[in-house]
Amino acid sequence: MQVVHVASEVFPFSRSGGLGDVLGVLPAVQAELGAEVTVVSPWYADVQEAVTPLWRGVLAGVPGQPPLPEVRVGEVRRGGVRFLFVGLACFDRPGLYHPDDVWRFSLFGRAVLPVLAQLGVRPDVLHGHDWQAGLVVAHARLSGVRSVFSVHNLQYQGRWNLLDGMGWTGLPEWAFTHETLEFHGDVNLMKAGLVFSSQVTTVSPTYAREITTPEFGEGLEGLMTRLRAEGRLSGILNGLDQARWDPASDPDVPVFTDPRGKGAAVAALRAEFGLDGAPILASVSRLAEQKGMDLLIGALPQLVQDWNVVVLGGGDPALEAGLREWAAHPRVVFAQGMNEPLAHRIYAGADAFAMPSRFEPCGLSQMIAMRYGTLPVVRATGGLVDTVPADVGFSFAQASVGALVAACGEARAAFDDPAGWEARAARAMRLEFSWDGPAREYLGLYARVLSGAAPAVAGLVEA
C-alpha cells in the first residue's frame, strides 16, 4: 500500500506542536509495518536539515485555472520514509505560520498532486492532516484518489472570504456551496477535508464525540454529527515517541527507571531554579486560552502556598506578561519560549504536571509527564480523558480557577502520602503509549477506504 501523508509540519524538520510530533513518528511506524510511505510538507526557509534537490519548474496545475508559480522539490529519506518538501516563494520566510496562510496553503494545496505526478508517485491513499491539507484532499477526490482526513484541532479552520478564496483554490464553482466549502460567507479549507475525504478521524475517541456538540464543534457540529451518523467519523488516539521520551535513556536528565530513581532529577531541577522544598507543579505548554493557561495564572495565589510552579512556554503576549510578573515570586519560574532540553528536565524533575485545557484533542504532554513518573492534573476533556487513569492522575470537570485549585489540592494531599504517591507514579510509568497500535488502526482504516464506495459529495459528478 502506497500512503502519502500531507501536513504543514513534520518533526524534526518543522514543528510548532503536536501535529509535527505525530508526523515525525506515525509514518515511520507504518513503514515498519510494510507500507510504502511518503510525507509531503512545505519547504520552509527554517528547514535546516540537508534536503536533496529533485526538481524545479512550473507545474501545469488545473486546466482553466491560473498556472502555479515556480516550484522546487526536495527530498530526505529517513527511517524508511520518503519526505518530500514543496518549495514555493511564499514559504521562503522565517517561521511556519503567517497571516496570509490561507493563500499560501491554497497554493501548496494545488501543487501537491502535480508534484507527486511529476515524481511518479501515485498514492493508494492520501492522508491529509488539519486544514492546511484540506484543499489537497479536495483535489485528490477530483483526481480519483481515496483519502483520509485527520482533525488535530478543529478550532483552526483556514477561513477566508469567498471572493478571494474561490480564485485561489483551483476548484470548480460548484464546490463553493453550503454543502461543500462555503461557511458563513467564507471559504473553509478544514471543511474541504471533511467533505471530500472518505473517512475523517480525530486524535482521540473522546474528542471525536465532543466535536459533535455545540461546545466543541466550532460551528461545524452539524457536519460532524452527520459524518458520525454515516460512520465516517472516528477517533484514533495518538501515540508517543517513546524512544525520544524515555527516562531510562534520556541524555538531558539523570536517568531512572522507577519512581524511586526520580529523586535525582527532582533535585537537579530544584537546584537549577533555586526552589525550596515544596513539591514542584509544572507546565510545558503553548500559552493560549485553549490550554487554560489563564486559569493557571489565576490559580497562582493559591498554588504557591503549597507548590513551586515551573512554566515553560510562549504564545499569547498577555499570558506571557502575567507569568513574567509572577516570576518575581520565589516559588514561580517562567521560562519563555520553547527549549527541548529544558522541557525534558522539567518533565523528569517535576512532581506533578498541570494541563487545565478548555479542550484538548489529544495532548502529548500528559503522556510524556506520566512516562517520567510526573502525575498529571488535567481537565476532563478530549484525549486527557482517554489517557489519564483515575488511579494515576487528578482531573476536574469545570474550566475554572476554583476547579483547578481544588484538583491541585487533591494532588497535594496525595503527595503527603509517599507510598500512595509512589504507587501512582509507578502505574504512570508502566502505561503503554506506543505508536504501533494507532499505526495499525490507520492502516486498517485505509484498507476499508480502498474497499468501500466513496461517499457522495453534493455537486460532484464522477465518471
Annotated binding site for ADP-alpha-D-glucose: 15
Return d(Cα 290, Cα 281) in angstroms, integer: 19
Residue written as grid cell 480525530: 202
The residues near 43 (Cβ < 8 Å, ≥ 6 apart) are 51, 72, 73, 74, 85, 86, 87, 88, 91
Return d(Cα 224, Cα 54) in angstroms, integer: 40
Return d(Cα 359, Cα 246) in angstroms, integer: 27
What is the residue-wise DSSP string for 259-282? GGGGHHHHHHHHHHHT--SS-EEE
Residue written as grid cell 477535508: 193
Integer angstrom CA distances of residue 435 from 26, 30, 331: 7, 9, 37
Pairing of strands 308-313, 280-284: parallel
H/E element, 29: helix 18-32
The residues near 403 (Cβ < 8 Å, ≥ 6 apart) are 379, 396, 397
Residue type, position 450, single letter: L
Exposed e or buried b for every residue in 250-285, given b needs 16+ CB within 10 A?
A: beebbebeebeebeebbeebbeebebeebbbbbbbb
At residue 330, what are phi and psi to the nearest 5 degrees? -65, -15
The residues near 448 (Cβ < 8 Å, ≥ 6 apart) are 199
Annotated binding-site members: 15
* Number of other CB atoms surrounding residue 79 within 10 Å: 13
Best CA proximity match to 74, nearest among 61, 98, 91: 91
Q: Where are the alpha helices (DSSP H) in 73-196?
A: 101-118, 134-142, 162-169, 189-196
Return d(Cα 151, Cα 134) in angstroms, integer: 10
Return d(Cα 157, Cα 90) in angstroms, integer: 20
